[in-house]
Structure 1
Amino acid sequence: MMWGESVTAIMVATEFLEVGLNTVNKAAMNKGLSNFVLVFYSNLLGIFMLAPCILIFYRKRSPPVLTWSTVCKIFLLGVLSYGGQLCTYIGLGYGSPTLASAMADLTPAFTFIFSIISRMEKLDLGIRSSQAKSLGTLVSITGAFVVTLYKGLPLTNNTLLHSNWIVGGFFLASHSVIFAIILNVQTWIIRGYPAEMLVTLMCSSIVALLSSIISVMVEKDPNAWRVGMNMELIAFVYTAAFAVAFRSVVHKWALRKKGPIYVSMFKPLEMVIALAMGITFLGDKLYIGSLLGAAIIAIGFYAVIWGQAQEEKLVHHTESSNKDPLLSNTASMI
């Protein structure tokens, strides 16, 4: 019980920090921060943060043996991570932290779909739990379309500058798809190579390498690469410390213990946090469409979670029956 509560507390704290990350990065983007430069500097700084931790952690123990197959899987993870980060920051630049959190609500639905495809989850439409998870997935995707395509009347008098809701929503929804794939790939990797920090370091190195090549080709303005004592520096450090290092390690740790569906189910918490922070600190405009779409997504999300909870109860009951022969014999007599 204590284990489950600890994992839950850490995952909830991670979502609070996630919204803070989006808010800080959006504020820095409003001041001209380049998406490509952010990805490069944050991953490069993240490498320097992770390396000493790994040296200390493996000072008196040996890391798992790294095979060529694992290296290929981590390279795939690095490519996906780079694409996911770019989609996040481009979408955030066009949209807002509130929109980013609304699109993040899609993650459980897409994670469920890819978990079925990768056979990490089983789908049996003959039982209620699978029906709930399938219907919840469709409802969540519908809610995301509502948030993206329908604004409605504004509920606040604030204005959001330089925004393009549909473009931002497209990139942020694309990130949810990529992130769902990443969760399944990470689970695939970490269960065969249980070294969260090492996998994160190698993945960040691949992202930094890809980013250095593409950023130099795309970002021609020399001023974009200069780092001063301003909001941009805060964004680099926050992104490196949280997104590249802490969050990545925590997600891999939770994935190894609980699986991709468990990690993704915390994403809808971002919406409530982001609404308050976005309106308060960034002057985001709150629309009826955002609230309506978020409510639809929440309904779909809780349908998926209900189905997941029912399946976990069934598994727990089956395991208990197998451990207790008397209970198993009594159940069979009934």
Structure 2
Amino acid sequence: MASAACNIGGFLTRFKPHLLMVIAQFGYTFQYFITEASFNHGMNPNVYITYRHIVSGVVMFPFAYFLERKQRPKLTFALFLEIFILSLLGVGLTLNMYFVSLRYTSPTFVVSMMNTIASLTFVIAVVLRLEVLDIRNPRGMAKVLGTLISLVGVMTMTLYRGPVMKHLWHPLIHIQGKTGNNHESWLKGSILTVTSCVTWSVWYIMQALTLKRYPALLSLTTWMSFVGAAQSAVFTVIVHHTRAAWTIGFDIDFWSTVYGGIVVSGLIVLIQLWCTEEKGPVFVTMFNPFSTILVAVLAYFVLGEKLYLGSILGAVVVIGGLYLLLWGKEGDQQVHSKEQEQSQLGYDEQKELRIQRVL
């Protein structure tokens, strides 16, 4: 009995980042549908982002203030400027582009394109030497092949539709369709989606760099929420001058804002920061395909959205490529752990020899 409990404990310890990222993808999946329903109800995406991060900042602030009082580094001007840019990439700029693109396209398309973030993040990490790449061994080859295969899968989902899958029953929930979803709107949404993927990849990389100088996860999450909300508010005021755009009722708009603030911008961002600190930015982005599957399945079975053969084939290829990349990274970490152990053993042996010489 004790042995079984020990094995379970060891399993949870080893795969804690993996389990947390899977939970995060479930949270993201629900966000796609609740925000689409809210936007179709009339909620302005820019106002939603502003309110959502105000909620996140207010909820996270007391935890950050009291739990990290002793470990929070001093906030210098240079560090605040870095957090400002980090907030712009993760909230002010990227999320505004992302949710506007969701308004012009569909949840399935947007979440499919999000799978490019893992490959883009990997390439940027290799260029900045945040990711180890040695193509002379199987692990390095696995990471390169995984990146290329995942890109092929994304291109398949984007460019090839194929036959539509037949619906087995009527949708359980009906969300009113978008107005004005013409070719021009779809093209605009596609461009915004691709651009947000690039800036999001840079955001993940910058998180890893900022955490080395500001390793207070709760405080960093709170800062990004407040600063990002201020950035989004400035942009929203410039674009929307009417008071009606800022008014929301106690309906789907309110609940989508609360959910997005507490769960997505609060808990999930905190999970991502912790996993980035433990495993690196590439690891965090590898789990996006899981959300792709959940969104496609729910959109098909629950909402009655069309599901094409190209989406299924592309998703399978993407997942295969990204988890080949994950296998390569896990191998790197095992080698790194062994090197650390050998280095520690060598240090201990040298220390023991020095003590024997003294004696």
Scaled by the length of structure 2, the TM-score of the pair is 0.83
- Give the corresponding residue for 1:287: 308
Residue 136 to residue 165, structure 1, CA distance change in 2 (3 Å) = farther
Q: Give the alignment's Cα RMSD to 1 decimal.
A: 2.3
Q: Which amino acid aligns with 2:73?
A: P
Residue 276, structure 1, aligned to residue 297, structure 2? yes
- Could you tell me how far 1:188 is from its partner in structure 2? 0.5
Distance 2:29 2:200 in 1: 16
- Superposed counterparts of 1:207-286, under 5 Å: 207-286=228-307
Flag structure 2 segments of 5+ consecutive residues without an equivalent.
Answer: 1-9, 350-359
- Give the corresponding residue for 2:73: 64
- Could you tell me how far 1:169 is from its partner in structure 2? 4.1
- Give the corresponding residue for 2:198: 177
What secondary structure does 1:285 align onto? coil
- Give the corresponding residue for 1:36: 46
What secondary structure does 1:153 align onto? coil
What secondary structure does 1:191 align onto? helix
- Give the corresponding residue for 2:336: 315
- Could you tell me how far 1:156 is from its partner in structure 2? 3.8
- Could you tell me how far 1:19 is from its partner in structure 2? 0.4
- Could you tell me how far 1:324 is from its partner in structure 2? 4.9
- Superposed counterparts of 1:121-160, under 5 Å: 121-157=131-167
What secondary structure does 2:26 align onto? helix
What secondary structure does 1:65 align onto? coil
Of stretches 31-40 and 50-59 in structure 1, the one that deviates more from structure 2 is: 50-59
Distance 2:155 2:188 in 1: 12
- Could you tell me how far 1:265 is from its partner in structure 2? 1.7
Flag structure 1 segments of 5+ consecutive residues without an equivalent.
Answer: 329-334
What secondary structure does 1:282 align onto? coil
- Give the corresponding residue for 1:331: none
Residue 173 to residue 300, structure 1, CA distance change in 2 (3 Å) = farther
Kindly provide the CA deviation profile for residues 168-215 of structure 1, in whole angstroms up to 9, marking residues without a partner as x: 444333333222211110110112211112112222222112111111
Scaled by the length of structure 1, the TM-score of the pair is 0.89
- Give the corresponding residue for 2:3: none
- Could you tell me how far 1:130 is from its partner in structure 2? 1.8
Distance 2:123 2:278 in 1: 20
Of stretches 259-268 and 315-324 in structure 1, the one that deviates more from structure 2 is: 315-324
Rg comparison, structure with higher value: 2
Identity over the aligned pairs, expressed in percent?
A: 25
- Could you tell me how far 1:41 is from its partner in structure 2? 1.0
What secondary structure does 1:66 align onto? coil
Kept after mapping to 2: 8 A contact 1:140/1:299: yes
Residue 78, structure 1, aligned to residue 99, structure 2? no
Of stretches 171-180 and 252-261 in structure 1, the one that deviates more from structure 2 is: 171-180
Residue 219 to residue 295, structure 1, CA distance change in 2 (3 Å) = same
How many residue pairs are counted as aligned between the two chains?
Answer: 325
